Amino acid sequence: MVEGKKEWNEDLIRPIFREEEANQICCIPLSRKEVEDKLIWGPSNKGLFSVKSAYFLEKERSSRGQGESSRGIEADDQWKHIWSMNLPSKMKLFIWKAGNNLLATKSNLVARKKWNTKEDDFLGLWAKISSKLNKSETEEVVAVMRNLWIRRNKFIFEQKFASPSCVIRLAKEDLNEYYATQSKPEGLNSTQVREKNGCPPEQNMVKANWDAAFDAKARKVGVGVIIRNERGEVMVACHEQKLNVADPVTAECYAFRKAMDLCRDLYFDKVIFEGDAQVIINAVNVQVEDLSYVGSLVEELRRSLKRCNEWRVQ
């Protein structure tokens, strides 16, 4: 590692290892705290060995040596089209999960073997959609699909049901907000920028929202943090880019850590941290040993929260 820093020394690693090996090493997340090293099972999200994870690992290794069919190339073209759309990362990730049958539906959680849902089924539907709609209409369809999924979850878990017009309105608001940030409007002051979702923080507190945009191909992430006061006015906003990031969960950890660093530097002692990475939020809020790939980062985030009694995450 770099002397005096908790960072990998790329100048030392890359001349020694092959490119693929060096990339894997440099992408291993490092905690800045004295977190104890642990032996984990990488192919499992929980870090524990299971026959199921070993089976899928062997299946993946076997498929690497096989040639790719023309149908597989066609599927790759479809995915390239999806990832190239001018949409927030959370919407692209939703479509990716839908296409790979990874959404937490009842069929996936209870009766996966009884359903015949494959990637080809979704990509066939996607080909029909993209062939009949223009670019902006296709992007709007993605936003509506994601909000329909959110509505379904709120109905199941919170017994709240949004009307179809509300779903469409929220989808358009999501897109318009994203397009507005892309165009970088000038002349906007803190009194003009308000929170779109949720409520402002409690009196005498601030709310720090964080998010991450992950580029898998380039192995890098852009993180952003925005801090608002009790009136919903923007007090601080910042962004930065980090290289050698291999997955979106690690990216969200770095974004959350950046939000904490910013609040600590500005001496904010009463903070509500808010993000959309539920996996990270749940991991930080429980005191169970985390053996996942990002366990060292989760432990660092937990320690930072413990040091400040009036910091909390939701």
Q: What is the mean pLDDT of residues 221-232?
A: 91
Q: Residue 76 and residue 79: Cα distance in Å, rounded?
A: 5
Structure tokens at 233: 């006015």
The answer to whether 154 and 162 are in contact (CB under 8 A) is yes
Which pLDDT does position 183 carry in this prediction?
A: 57
pTM, two decimal places: 0.58
More confident residue, 190 or 163: 163
Angle (CA) 287 288 292, round 5°: 125
Q: What is the mean pLDDT of residues 119-133?
A: 76
DSSP 8-state assignment for residue 259:
H
- pLDDT of 15-47, one tens digit each? 999 988 898 889 888 888 877 777 877 777 777
Least confident of 21-25, 94-98, 272-276: 94-98
Number of other CB atoms surrounding residue 51 within 10 Å: 7
- Residue-range domains of the chain with CATH: 85-185 (no CATH), 206-313 (3.30.420.10)
